[in-house]
Amino acid sequence: MKRKGFNIIEMIIVVAIIGIVFSLTAPLVKSFGMVNERIRVQNEVDREFAVVSKFIKEEVRSARRTSKSLDVDVKYAAIFNLNGEDFDSFSDLILETELDEDTGTISALSTGSVLFLEIPYEDSEDGSDDDSKLVFLFFEDSQLRYIEDFDDSTEEILMENISDGSFELSTDGVVIFSIDLDVGDYEGKIKDSIRESAVSRIDLDI
């Protein structure tokens, strides 16, 4: 007569084998899950960087730059610092920071937390101030914020959880922006910073 099923010893052996296999594969499963989570977070960070980077480049590209960009009365692009102060009006910041009293010319910073742009409307005929919008992109309180015009008619938060950020402006009008995100436990495990450049539109007086 043939025996059916397992006896107790065989069942113990089977359970033991299953336990060994599980103990060997569990770390691999956990590691695979961690890798997937890291990839997910990296993709989210990359998407956020891509959106913000595209927006900044479009704004800078729309700004005008001419040979008069260093004239006191014409302000197309400049860099300023907030210095941890709460400015009620960025127009005050421009006048105090941009004018060099010794020379009577602009003495703009090359690196700072505030990017100022003057963007002429497409239907502007003479490029006067009345036909332009004034834009500020600035890093404050771990955020990248956007303000259009002095009256705060448009204000948006473009990005949050920023550990460090700055703008640089070269003499030929190239804006370099650097953003470093605070990614918590993923610090050092994913790419959490960018450094990119944007070029403004060039107007030539011929």
Nearest to 63 by CA among 152, 137, 140, 150: 137
Residue 181 domain-assigned?
A: yes
d(Cα 157, Cα 34) in Å, to the nearest integer? 31
d(Cα 98, Cα 75) in Å, to the nearest integer? 9
How do the pLDDT tens digits run along the chain, 206 residues long?
A: 555 555 777 777 777 777 777 777 666 666 656 778 888 999 999 999 999 999 999 998 888 754 444 443 434 667 777 664 544 455 545 434 445 556 555 455 667 788 888 887 665 455 454 567 778 888 988 999 998 875 557 788 999 999 999 998 876 778 899 999 999 888 888 899 999 998 876 654 43
Q: What is the pLDDT of residue 49?
A: 95
Range of the domain at 130: 39-202
Residue 149 domain-assigned?
A: yes
Looking at the 3D structure of the chain, how many domains does it have? 1
The pair of structure tokens assigned to 83 is 């210095």
Identity of the amino acid at 108:
A
Residue 117 domain-assigned?
A: yes
Residue 10 domain-assigned?
A: no
pTM for this prediction: 0.68
Tracing tokens 């020379």 back to the chain, one arrives at: 103
Residue 134 domain-assigned?
A: yes
Q: What is the pLDDT of residue 144?
A: 93
Residue 14 domain-assigned?
A: no
Residue 3 domain-assigned?
A: no
Q: What is the pLDDT of residue 170?
A: 78
Residue 100 domain-assigned?
A: yes
